[in-house]
A = this chain, B = another copy of it.
Amino acid sequence: MAPTDAAPDLGATERAELAGAVVRRLLHLSRAMRHDTDLGFAQLGLTPAVARALHQLDPDRPVAARELAEQLECDRSNVTALVDKLELAGLVRRQVDPTDRRLKTLVVTDDGRAVRGRVHEVMSDARLLAALGDDELATLRDLLWKVSDGGCPEECGGE
C-alpha cells in the first residue's frame, strides 16, 4: 500500500502482471495527454498531425520532405498534404534543393518559428504531472529515459 513496497525479488508471473499494469496505465495516461494537446493545437488552428510535423521541423536548417517523413515515421505521400497546409498557413516554405533538384526542402518561416514555439509549449504543458514533487518528477524522468533506450536525460535527439 505504501509506495515502494516491492519485495526484493519478484516471481516471473508477478513481474509480468506488474509490467502489464504499468503498460496499460501508460496507454491510458497517453490518451489523456493526447486529448489535452489536441485541444491546444486546435486553438492554434492546427490539426494534431500538422502540429506534430511543424514541431519536428528544424527552424535552423532546411529539411527534405523525405527526411520529415522518416522522422514522423509515416509515408512520404502524407507529408505532401501536411506541408500543403503548413505552406497555406504561411508557416513553411518549399524550396527546391539546388544540389539535387529532385529534393524539396522545407524552410520554417518567421511566423512558423513563432507558432512552432507555441506548439512546443502545448506539448510541454504538464498539468497532469502537478501531483508529483520535484524529486518524484526527476525520478520519473530517469525511469522513462531508461525505458526508451537508456540514453542520457539531457538532449540526445530523442526528444
Interface residues, chain A, CB within 8 Å of chain B? 1, 3-10, 15-35, 37, 73, 123-126, 128-129, 131-132, 134-148, 150, 152-154, 158-159
Name the residue on B nearest A30 (C-beta). Answer: B30
Check A140–B137 contact: CB distance below 8 A. Answer: no
Residues in B with CB closer than 8 Å to A129 are 19, 22-23, 147
Check A124–B19 contact: CB distance below 8 A. Answer: yes
Residues in B with CB closer than 8 Å to A21 are 124, 141, 153
Check A10–B143 contact: CB distance below 8 A. Answer: no
Check A19–B137 contact: CB distance below 8 A. Answer: yes
Closest Cβ of chain B: how far from A4's Cβ, in Å? Answer: 6
Q: Within the assembled complex, what's the spacing in Å between the Cα atoms of A6 and B135?
A: 6
Q: Within the assembled complex, what's the spacing in Å between the Cα atoms of A15 and B127?
A: 12
Residues in B with CB closer than 8 Å to A26 are 26, 29-30, 33, 144
Closest Cβ of chain B: how far from A159's Cβ, in Å? Answer: 6
Check A32–B148 contact: CB distance below 8 A. Answer: yes
Check A4–B138 contact: CB distance below 8 A. Answer: yes
Closest Cβ of chain B: how far from A126's Cβ, in Å? Answer: 3
Partner of A140, one of B31, B37, B140, B154: B140
Residues in B with CB closer than 8 Å to A136 are 143, 146
Closest Cβ of chain B: how far from A86's Cβ, in Å? Answer: 20
Check A125–B30 contact: CB distance below 8 A. Answer: no
Check B132–A5 contact: CB distance below 8 A. Answer: no
Residues in B with CB closer than 8 Å to A153 are 21
Given contacts A27-B33, A29-B26, A33-B27, contact A20 B143 (CB under 8 A): no
